Amino acid sequence: MKILCLTGTSHYQFNRLVKSVDVTLGPKYSVIIQLGNTNYKVKYSESFNFCKKNELIKLITKADIIITQGGYGSMMDSLLLNKKVIAVPRKLELNETLHDQTEHVEYLSKKGFLIGCYNIDNLSSLVIKLLSNEVSLSSFKPESELKIKTIVEDFIDRKIKL
């Protein structure tokens, strides 16, 4: 059972997530943590700060479960590879981000694409639920990209012809 934990490229620390993953899941599973700018000293897991995008995609592909911050890039990369994702939003009031991630995580979680974890103490029980298939997730469909591409393309065509 391989777990990959992602904190993205944020300027802020995410000790709350990294500590919980390391302490509660590190001793039980094979865990790799992408620390980003978090400086928590990991004890039970493998860890690194940043890596190249293609290496990250390889790591995501190999993992069974992704536990990620609620950032757009980290969540989309994982969902597009059809992974089981638990997302923990960075919170504004805990000084973990400039832009609170709760709303986007709630949105994706209501659609059934991933599991939102809003209380870090529930993290390991969510992992167990996911492993025992107690919760089922629907496969992710990137809803808006195509439409945006068309709008952008039309706009550029019109502006260039003028």
Partner 1 sequence: MIKKNIVGIASGGGHLSELQNIIPKSIKNEITYITCKNGHTKESLKEEKHFFIIDPHISRFKYFINTCQAIILFLKLRPSIIISTGAGIAIPFMILGYFLGSKIIFIESGASISTLSKTGEFMYKYANLFIVHYTHLLDKYPNSKIGSL
Q: Which residues contact 77 (CB under 8 A, 6 or more apart)?
A: 56, 57, 60
Nearer to partner 1, 134 or 145 (CB): 145
In angstroms, give the least distance from the CB of 5 to partner 1.
16
Q: Which residues contact 44 (CB under 8 A, 6 or more apart)?
A: 22, 23, 26, 27, 31
Nearer to partner 1, 71 or 116 (CB): 71
In angstroms, give the least distance from the CB of 60 to partner 1.
13
- C-alpha distance from residue 77 to each of 80, 108, 142 (Å): 5, 14, 11
Nearer to partner 1, 46 or 154 (CB): 154
| One-letter amino acid of 92 | L
**Contact set with partner 1 (CB under 8 A):** 8-11, 50-54, 56, 70-74, 76-77, 98-99, 101, 103-104, 107, 142-153, 155-156, 159-161
In angstroms, give the least distance from the CB of 110 to partner 1.
11
